[in-house]
Amino acid sequence: MGAKLVKFIFFGNYFVGTLAVALSLETAFQLQIHFNSLTYYLLLFFGTVMYYTYAYSGITSANNSVNPRTIWYAEHHDFIKWSQPFLLVICTILSSVLLIQYYENILRLPVAYWIVVGAICLAAILYYGLIPKSFIKLNLRNTGWLKAFIIGFVWACCVNLLPLVVLQIERGTYYVDPVFALWLFVKNWMFCTVNAIMFDLKDYEDDSNQQLKTFVVRYGLEKTIFFVLIPLLTIGVVSLSLFAHFRHFKTIIFLFNLTPFILMLVVAWSMLKHKNILYYLIVIDGLLLIKAICGIAGSQFIH
């Protein structure tokens, strides 16, 4: 029973939905701003689950696959077949509630906020190649090495910028330190990008067969870890240290923000040995949850 529940949570992308909410809460804590409404957080959770499940919703047979996630989706095809429309209905209802409650504020939303929303929506659509191929033949999932940076960008937009847009809609004007907000955005972008590169390690064989030039396909496992992951994480640690110095962070705040980077370095090193898919889903994605928790904990010492 326990194993089935773990697979349901992680293979079904419910943990990914939890990560989206947790990282959004981290943004509110670190920027010292109001939380968004419960309606928005529910919409973010269910929307993320539905969006990430879309890529696997067409799987009806494992076709002798040894991939545990492919097998799980094949075995639970009927559940996915009705759960996706159910999630769509929930998201539609939640979106309608926000629209009815704040439609005047939405109409008065500054142009800059609409640009942010447009960029997020466009990236999300192109990620799956949902625009008709007769119009544009572009699928960001197939952009090789650029794929991880696109994923990181979308996540940073959704957990750092989108909460600010919704806060503007729900509460009106507010103030955030623009330099600090920009730094948090870039930090999340790079952290999620490294996370996505680590996740590509599990797809090495499939990406190679599909001729996707991801980092691991181009350089192999060891070179990706030593010449891509570790340097990027080292740059992250150095930039965090410099920013903390110039912004006069308390030591405890710096240590809380440093912890996820150190743990990611440890996990990157451990990946020299092949891991099963649940390791990637639980441990690697779990680093994002740890990052959110550390960010929230560190924010308690800002004042």
In whole angstroms, give the CA distance from residue 146 to residue 123.
13
Distances, alpha carbon 62 to alpha carbons 69, 74, 130, 167, 275, in Å: 9, 6, 24, 43, 20
pLDDT tens profile 190-209: 899 988 888 777 655 554 44
**50: pLDDT confidence band, cut at 50, 70 and 90?**
very high
Domain ranges of the chain: 2-299
**140: pLDDT confidence band, cut at 50, 70 and 90?**
low
pLDDT tens profile 223-272: 788 878 888 889 889 989 999 888 888 999 999 999 999 999 998 888 87
pLDDT tens profile 95-122: 999 999 999 999 889 898 899 889 888 8
Query: What angle in degrees, to the nearest 10, is found between the helix axes of 162-171 and 38-54?
Result: 150
Q: What is the mean pLDDT of residues 23-40?
A: 95
Average pLDDT, the chain: 85
Lowest mean pLDDT among 37-41, 158-162, 173-177: 173-177
DSSP secondary structure string for all residues of 266-299: HHHHHTTS---HHHIIIIIHHHHHHHHHHHHHHH
Domain covering 2-299: architecture:
Orthogonal Bundle (1.10)
pTM metric for this prediction: 0.89
Tell which residue, 132, 207, 120, 152, has the closest CA to residue 23.
152
Distances, alpha carbon 90 to alpha carbons 16, 87, 97, in Å: 17, 5, 11
